[in-house]
Amino acid sequence: MASNITLTMIKPDAVAAGNSGKIIDLIIQSGFKIQAMKLTRLSKEKAEEFYAVHKERGFFGDLVKFMTEGPIVAAVLEKDNAVEDFRKLIGATNPANAAEGTIRKLYATDIERNAVHGSDSDENAAIEASFHFAGVERF
Nearest one of 36, 60, 47, 57 to 12, comparing CA atoms:
47
Nearest one of 27, 131, 17 to 69, comparing CA atoms:
17
* Residue 54: active-site member: no
Give residues with Cβ within 8 angstroms of 39, minimum separation 6.
15, 71, 72, 73
Q: Is 112 in the site for ligand CMP (CB under 6 A)?
A: yes
Q: Is 119 in the site for ligand CMP (CB under 6 A)?
A: no
> Which residue among 83, 114, 128, 129 contacts ligand CMP (CB under 6 A)?
114
Q: Is 117 in the site for ligand CMP (CB under 6 A)?
A: yes
Q: Is 59 in the site for ligand CMP (CB under 6 A)?
A: yes
**Distance (Å, whole) CA 71 – CA 69:** 7
Number of chain positions touching ligand CMP (CB under 6 A) = 8
What are the angstrom distances between the C-alpha of 82 and each of 7, 37, 97, 108, 118? 9, 16, 22, 21, 10
Q: Looking at beta carbons only, is 38 or 139 nearer to ligand CMP?
A: 38
Q: Is 103 in the site for ligand CMP (CB under 6 A)?
A: no
Please, what is the minimum distance in Å from the beta carbon of residue 58 to ligand CMP?
8
Candidates 11, 79, 113, 117; catalytic one = 117
**Distance (Å, whole) CA 12 – CA 28:** 20
Spacing of C-alpha 14 from chain mean position: 11
Q: Is 73 in the site for ligand CMP (CB under 6 A)?
A: no
Q: Is 69 in the site for ligand CMP (CB under 6 A)?
A: no
- List residues near ligand CMP by CB under 6 A: 54, 59, 63, 93, 111-112, 114, 117
Catalytically active residues, by annotation: 117
